[in-house]
Chain A
Amino acid sequence: MDGIGQGAKVAFTLPIFGGIDITETIVIGWLIIVAVLLLCLFLTKGLSKVPTKKRQIVAEMFVGFVNNMVETTMGKKWKHYAPYIATLLVYAVLGALVSLLGLRSMTADFNVPLTWALMTFILITFYKIKSGGVLGYFKGFASPIFVMLPLNILSEVATPLSMAFRMFGNISGGAVITTLIYSALAGVSRLIHLAFEFGGIGINVAQLFIPAVLSIYFDLFSGCIQAYIFATLTMVYVSSADEG
């Protein structure tokens, strides 16, 4: 029952500014950065014009996938956004998939999707001001008629909040359901006398296969689809902010 309804644990506390709590979310984030860095270094080792190694093909496939996604969703002139979109995708996918390793999903911590949603919000605002000017940006809230002002402000704020809560809700909800199912299956195992204990390690037979099937949906599918949705929404909002 460990972890239900709980947030990220505090890994350690930095003894500055009266103690800053570093949660496991941040530590997992660092681990992912290191893993991605090593993976990138491995994949891009010995790149050549004529690919001879499988890893170059993998690297080119990933880069091509993101480039293509950015170009079709945002247009050719936004090609320089590909690394940022790739960052969101990689971080969100890996951040959700660490739950497969028994760690707490990074994106199940509301602060993470909130940070990314705020970044998207800043980009949206930046491009709106860039394309329409500061005056145009504020005028935009009162269009098409002044009465729409509160609704426009609400929708502007709702954009990042809905993005953040969508990802947080899906991933943390999946984690909660998975935990609940584990404990329920432990109860079932005890009921049908299929729970054993060897030297402090409990084995509940009913827990063996069912969670794996559910995990495919709640961890793999949900994690990937939420990352994709988040990246796509960022692309759509940012590119339309520049046009509008």
Chain B
Amino acid sequence: MEFAKVTEFLTIDPATIVLTLCNTLILFLVLKHFLFDKVNKVIDDRQSEIAESYKNADEAQKKAESLAAEYDEKIGKAKEEGAEIVRAATVKAQNRSDEIIAEARAEAKGIVDNANSEIEREKKIAVNQIKDEIAEIAISAASAVAEKEISVKDNEKLIESFIDRVGEQ
């Protein structure tokens, strides 16, 4: 490239100054608009997003902690309630079993008593029957032996004494 002329080593050239000023301003606008504004925006966005997510994480943690405490409390209550229920049930069952046993005993006693009185009654009936039979046998035996008429009064006397002797034997 052929140059028409060469400036001095150290000169002050108004045209160069003005144009350099324009160039500098243009470069400033280029850097500001195409680099700094864009990159700063991205960095700011990212920082606010990070701050936001940190905040959310903190909130979530707090919530989780309170929930855990709440659950612990609930579980403790449930355990207590369970123990209470078991205890009540045990007591109830004990009472019930005692009742049942007492009832059974009473029933058994009733049955035994009934049986005893029945036996007693049957025994009396049997004794009376035997007494009647023996009386008949004795009368017939006596009439057979004595072959003589005995008054009803004497008969009865004889029978009574006979029975009593038999009963004593």
Contact = CB atoms under 8 A, between A and B. Distances in A.
By secondary structure, the A interface counts as: helix
Interface string B1-41: 10111111111110111011101101110111011101110
A146 interface: no
A10 B10 contact: no
A10 B5 CA distance: 6
B79 interface: no
Nearest to A109: B16
A207 B35 CA distance: 40
Interface string B131-153: 00000000000000000000000
A187 to B, nearest CB: 23
By secondary structure, the B interface counts as: helix
Nearest to A32: B27
A37 interface: yes
A97 interface: no
B48 to A, nearest CB: 10
A137 interface: no
B75 to A, nearest CB: 41
A178 to B, nearest CB: 15
Contacts of B19: 22, 26, 29
A116 B31 contact: no
Interface in A20-55: 20-26, 29-30, 32-33, 36-37, 40-41, 43-44, 47-50
A25 B17 CA distance: 10
Nearest to B15: A20
A47 B45 CA distance: 11
A169 B100 CA distance: 119
A111 B16 contact: yes
B7 A87 contact: no
Contacts of B46: 49-50
A103 to B, nearest CB: 11
Contacts of B7: 6-10, 21, 23
A87 B24 contact: yes
B43 interface: yes
Interface string A105-140: 000011110111011000000000000000000000
Contacts of B42: 47-49, 56, 60
Contacts of B103: none
Given A9-B3, A60-B43, A83-B31, A110 B12 contact: yes
A47 B38 CA distance: 8
B49 interface: yes
B49 A83 contact: no
A34 to B, nearest CB: 9
A86 interface: yes
Contact of B20 (A5, A60, A115): A115
Given A7-B8, A26-B23, A60-B39, 13 more contacts: A6-B7, A6-B9, A7-B6, A7-B11, A10-B3, A12-B4, A29-B20, A33-B27, A37-B30, A40-B30, A63-B39, A114-B17, A119-B24
Interface of A: 5-13, 20-26, 29-30, 32-33, 36-37, 40-41, 43-44, 47-50, 56, 59-60, 62-64, 66-67, 82-84, 86-87, 90-91, 109-112, 114-116, 118-119, 168, 172
